[in-house]
Amino acid sequence: DSGVTQTPKHLITATGQRVTLRCSPRSGDLSVYWYQQSLDQGLQFLIQYYNGEERAKGNILERFSAQQFPDLHSELNLSSLELGDSALYFCASSPQDREAFFGQGTRLTVV
């Protein structure tokens, strides 16, 4: 158990819908990262937050947004979903630019 909790574990939704993925980092970790893993794209970095502030941005679509709350949990919002958004979404946390510990992921299926 990495100490990072992601909910839900599985999500099935229709195209055009909006979903929210939630991540609770390890106790004390200020950094939260979001990654998307699909079969054809590998593990893609989406965005990083550090203590509530956006720190780095990767290949995150405009339809996607994230935030980190004062209690350090984070949410990834995916809207206007397309079939191609089906993927495994990982959240990871770390103290500060050190090893990141990953949650078990949320498997999103868009139908």
Partner 1 sequence: AQKVTQAQTEISVVEKEDVTLDCVYETRDTTYYLFWYKQPPSGELVFLIRRNSFDEQNEISGRYSWNFQKSTSSFNFTITASQVVDSAVYFCARITAVSFGAGTTVTVRA
Give me the residues that bind partner 1 (CB under 8 A), please.
Answer: 2, 33, 35, 42-43, 45, 48, 56, 58, 88, 90, 92, 94, 97-102, 104-105
Q: Residue 90 Cβ, how far from partner 1 at the closest point, in Å? A: 6
- 81 vs 100, which CB is nearer to partner 1? 100
Q: Residue 16 Cβ, how far from partner 1 at the closest point, in Å? A: 27
Cβ contacts of 101 within 8 Å, gap of 6 or more: 2, 3, 4, 26, 29, 92, 93, 94
Torsion of CA 28, 4, 83, 37, to 10 degrees: 90
Pairing of strands 10-13, 106-110: parallel
- 19 vs 48, which CB is nearer to partner 1? 48
Q: Is 85 helix (H, G, I), strand (E, B) or coil?
A: helix
- 62 vs 99, which CB is nearer to partner 1? 99
Q: Residue 56 Cβ, how far from partner 1 at the closest point, in Å? A: 6
